[in-house]
Amino acid sequence: DAIIALIGRLVGNGSAYAAEGHVLFDTQACEDYGVLSGHPMDEMIAGARVEVAPYKRHPADFVLWKPSKPGEPVWQSPFGPGRPGWHIECTAMIEQSLGLPIDIHGGGIDLLFPHHENERAQGACAHGHGRDRTYARYWMHNGFLTFGEEKMAKSLGNVALVKDLVKVAPGEALRWALLVGHYRAPLEWTGELIAQSVKALDRLYGALRRAAGVEAADTGPDPAFLAALEDDLNTPAAMAELFGLATALETATGPGRAEAKGRLLASARLMGFLFGDPEAWFQGGVDEALKARIDDLVARRSQARAAKDWAAADKIRDELAALNVEVMDSASGATWRLKERT
């Protein structure tokens, strides 16, 4: 009903016309048709692979309602029995559920044209013909997630499921991997990408671990970090700011350390990072029995080093290495981490 009513308004205000059982959108009646994709009309006709039909007023005109073929769903309408075209359904759902204009319209880059171009044109023209009409305030088209040179898609059978990925990598690392590139750019999903994401978070959690004794000040996110996100959701630039904030935490002194820690946490958590305990991050996936064994070895190694029994310390170090454990010595004592957590 919502689709039929929307098509009726478009016909009523001259933005669409009926022809041989079809209703078509009149692209020539939309004075800014093509403004979203920026394509010249001849390119849009070729790119849309529009059906050449004698009942069209212009080759770029597209179907709002069409007769159903045998075996297809069919509905009765004032335009004759048939079914909706591809684009009109989205406009009707948005108009009915959200109202116009909407704030943000997202989708894959492959939908920019013809789908979103046509959706915007029909949706805007249903409410008048002036250039000041707005369908969506912001359009955000994301690049493809790819395996090699192929788009990740269920139809291709190359989909990686989160429930499987979290078995081999921390959830935060998967989130980092997905945000490390700008959303408009394509992103290739590889094991190396996940490994690099783990290392990136190692850097941030390491700064927090070394500042474990510092109580974070109640600050908001860093202004430079926010500016990056506000610049078309520039997550790579925002992540670079997080590294800068980690460095600031490690070089700060006195009361400045509490403020630096607060800015790092507030900024990172805005993107869904650093909610975990640093020790748990570095020791993740270790059961209690193994953790107790490692802690005992680390303590014995520290005792051997204090007694300058280097042979014993080296032997214990080798035992830890065989357990995939790396020991970090500092003035405040020894800590450990798993070398590989995937």
pLDDT grade for 44, boundaries at 50, 70 and 90: low
- Distance (Å, whole) CA 214 – CA 13: 66
Pairing of strands 102-108, 187-188: unpaired
Residue 314: pLDDT over 70: yes
Sequence-ordered list of residues with C-beta below 8 angstroms from that of 199, at least 6 positions apart, any chain: none
**Structure confidence by residue, pLDDT tens digits, 260-306:** 999 999 999 999 999 999 988 988 766 778 778 888 898 899 999 98
* Least confident residue range of 172-176, 183-187, 332-336: 332-336
Q: What is the pLDDT of residue 26?
A: 96
**In angstroms, how far is the first alpha carbon of the chain from the final one?**
52
pLDDT above 70 for 235: yes
Burial of 274 (0-12, 13-18, 19+ CB in 10 A): buried
**CA distance linking residue 249 with residue 164, whole number of Å:** 35
Rounded-to-integer distance, Cα 303 and Cα 315, Å? 13
Compute the distance between CA of residue 188 and CA of residue 179 in angstroms, rounded to an integer. Answer: 12
In the 8-state DSSP scheme, what is residue 82?
B
pLDDT digits (tens, 9 = 90+) for 134-152: 899 999 999 988 887 677 6
Q: Find where tokens 């179907």 sit.
A: 63
Q: Where are the beta strands (DSSP E) in 175-233?
A: 187-188
The domains of the chain are located at 2-142, 147-280, 284-338
Q: pLDDT (tens digit, 9 = 90+) per residue, 2-37?
A: 999 999 999 999 999 999 999 999 999 998 899 999
Which residues have a Cβ under 8 Å from the Cβ of 160 and sit 6 or more positions away? 147, 152, 189
Nearest to 111 by CA among 146, 152, 141: 141
DSSP, residue by residue, 244-258: HHHHHHHH--THHHH
**Gap between the Cα atoms of 125 and 30, Å rounded:** 7
288 contact partners, CB below 8 Å, separation of at least 6: none
What pLDDT shows up at residue 148? 73
pLDDT band of 129, cuts 50, 70, 90: low
Mean pLDDT of 313-323: 89
Strands (E), 185-312: 187-188
Average pLDDT for residues 168-186, to the nearest whole number?
A: 94
Q: Distance (Å, rounded) from C-alpha 180 to C-alpha 233?
A: 11
pLDDT of 132 above 70: no
- Look over the chain and give the mean of its residue pLDDT values, rounded to a whole number: 90
**Beta carbons of 245 and 265 less than 8 angstroms apart:** no
Over pLDDT 70: what percentage of the chain?
94
Residue 48 has pLDDT above 60, yes or no: no
Q: H-type helices in 82-141, by residue range? A: 88-97, 117-125
Averaged pLDDT, 71-81: 95
May I ask the CATH architecture of the domain 147-280?
Orthogonal Bundle (1.10)
Virtual CA dihedral for 291, 295, 296, 299, nearest 10 degrees? 170
Per-residue confidence (pLDDT) for residue 233, from 0 to 100: 96
pLDDT band of 130, cuts 50, 70, 90: very low
Which candidate, 64, 206, 47, 175, places its Cα nearest to that of 125? 64
Instruction: Among 81-85, 199-203, 238-242, 280-284, name the one with the lowest average pLDDT.
Output: 280-284
Phi, psi (deg, nearest 5) at residue 30: -100, 105
Statement: residue 215 has pLDDT above 90: yes
Alpha carbons 138 and 135: distance in angstroms, whole number: 9
Task: Dig out the tokens for 219 from the structure.
Answer: 């600050």
Look up the CATH architecture of domain 2-142. Answer: 3-Layer(aba) Sandwich (3.40)
Contact 154, 126 (CB under 8 A): no
